[in-house]
Amino acid sequence: MTAWEIKGWCPGALRPMPSGDGLVTRIRPPLGRLTPQQAEAIAKAAQAHGNGIIDLSARANLQLRGVTEASHPRLIDDLGAHGLIDRDVETESLRNLIVTPFRDAETTALADALTAALTRMPKLPAKFGFALDTGPRPVLTQASADIRVERAADGQLILRPDGHALGQPVTDLATDAIAMADWFIVHGGVTDGRGRMAALIARGAIPEGCNVAPAMPLPTPRPGLHRDGALLALAFGQMRAETLTALSALGHEIRPTPWRMLFLLGATTLPAIPGLITDPADPILRITACTGAPACPQALGETRRLARALAPHLPAGQALHLSGCAKGCAHPGASPLTVTASDTGYDLILDGSASDTPSLRGLAPEALSAVLKAPHAPPL
């Protein structure tokens, strides 16, 4: 297995993370939404101060790539002028909140209240986060979060610790959320500054009063038109600044989602903008690929160009995880087909994760399309 560097913190805008292609600068959209003007400003900043590439993270944040030490201060000034920068690193790092893109006025008010409460939380691990999933039925259950705000089948709000099937009824969201975060700390959820709610729950600890089931979750939505707007997918959760500029020109509020998709509020037609995927049958949507080489310094091989080349050869209905190393950042769990870059080429893993024992080792990129068509056949 390849060794990799485990980072215990998440990048922000004020504290970017060095990567193979410069500083990764992560913008956390306030209340999970962007005005067209903010989106346009982000696109301009990505071109002026980065390499023009924008990632959509699994926590519904936007990351500008290729920022330099020299360009970072000007980037912060430009984004700050549009209300996209927190007052300091501490405030920014506390704002780990994913808000459902399908929301009503009540959810927006709850997002406001929870955002304000985040500044009064006890000191939580950097990756500890909240999900405000208060549509009629949860849609964020697969997104990373430690404390989830959901609705029961009768519509009442509940606070559910991640890893436990039931939640506690909410009396006052801010007070109750802080109390559950306190409970996490008091019950030993943090070790050496790290810890996640699901791990604590798995050790048998459960907060009092968690006896209400959430409404039945909905499956992850697909690209296309929805009741209040359009979901537009990005291959590997990445776009060029030009795509965001074109999208902002349509004049709609943009809500980043944790599904590698942007929700365009109020859109009644699907925009034809290069870089946006509107067809749910597009095979590229069945491939998960991490950043890979050269942008990730830990990568042992290229991933995304290869993924685009492999997409037309992927058998119908088949999903593929393509990883630049055994860390498997893009898909930590098992996948029916995983291709992991290694020191000797690409390894094929069946029904496993990127770090599991391969069935085939050291494959050349050009051999992969044939292997994917018949992964159980003898080596070529």
Q: Which residues bind ligand SF4 (CB under 6 A)?
A: 4, 290-292, 296, 298-299, 323-325, 327-329
In angstroms, give the least distance from the CB of 329 to ligand SF4.
Answer: 3
Cβ nearer to ligand SF4, comparing 237 with 375: 237
Cβ nearer to ligand SF4, comparing 4 with 334: 4
Backbone angles phi, psi at 346, to 5 degrees: -115, 135
Beta strands 97-99 and 130-132: pairing type?
Answer: parallel
Cα–Cα distance list, 15 to 91, 123, 234 (Å): 11, 18, 25
In angstroms, give the least distance from the CB of 374 to ligand SF4.
Answer: 26
In angstroms, give the least distance from the CB of 200 to ligand SF4.
Answer: 26
Backbone angles phi, psi at 58, to 5 degrees: -70, -5
Cβ nearer to ligand SF4, comparing 209 with 332: 332
Longest dimension (CA), the chain: 62
Q: In degrees to the nearest 10, what's the CA dihedral of 166, 171, 174, 176?
A: -50
Cα–Cα distance list, 189 to 71, 180, 200, 205, 290 (Å): 38, 11, 6, 10, 29
Could you tell me how many residues make up the chain? Answer: 380
Cβ nearer to ligand SF4, comparing 329 with 371: 329
* 8-state DSSP, 264: E
Q: Which residue is nearest to ligand SF4 (CB)?
A: 324
In angstroms, give the least distance from the CB of 341 to ligand SF4.
Answer: 7
Cβ nearer to ligand SF4, comparing 33 with 331: 331
In angstroms, give the least distance from the CB of 61 to ligand SF4.
Answer: 16
Cβ nearer to ligand SF4, comparing 38 with 288: 288
H or E stretch at 181: helix 173-186
Q: What gap in Å lies between CA 338 and CA 349, rounded to an integer? A: 5
In angstroms, give the least distance from the CB of 303 to ligand SF4.
Answer: 7
